[in-house]
Amino acid sequence: MVNQQALTKSRLRIEESSKEIVLVVCDGVGSADVTVLANEVAKKVAKEGKRRALIHVISPLGRPKYFEVVRGVIQENIGISMSVRYSGSETKDLLELVKRLNNPDVVVTGLCGDYIKVLDEVGYRNVTVIYAKEAT
């Protein structure tokens, strides 16, 4: 059991040369937004000349809901090797992850006003917002 825990905390060999992206997924993401998100991920990976992406997902949604978005990103980017890690659901999880990863690209999609606000409050600027329309 101890060995298994150590493996999940360490980085896999395939992830070593990956572009790390933090993906914040909230409610309200449509299929057109998923396409834009997939293109943004591809652009960020290609910009660094890499063929691999390590995506850290922060989402208040349950697994089936947030994974619908992630599945669309994977399907649209079939030529990129991707690893996906769930990294939490709260704004504090996002801040801890950004600090630990040392200035990763953050892509926010959905009704994520609280997450955007927290990043703004700490002055984090490496953020791309795909869809941030507030609910009425």
pLDDT tens per residue across span 3-18: 444 434 566 776 778 9
Burial of 106: CB neighbours in 10 Å, binned 0-12, 13-18, 19+: buried
| Structural domain contains residue 4 | no
Q: Write out the residue range of the structural domain in which residue 122 sits.
A: 16-130
Confidence category of residue 132, pLDDT binned at 50, 70, 90: low
At residue 111, φ and ψ (nearest 5 deg) are: -85, 80
Percentage with pLDDT > 90 across the chain: 78
- Who's near 78: CB < 8 A, 6+ residues apart? none
pLDDT in tens, 67-93: 999 999 999 999 999 999 999 999 999
Residue 72 resides in a domain? yes
Task: Give me the number of domains the chain comprises.
Answer: 1
Q: Is residue 2 part of a domain?
A: no
User: Does 116 map to a domain?
Assistant: yes
- Per-residue confidence band for 64, with pLDDT thresholds at 50, 70 and 90: confident
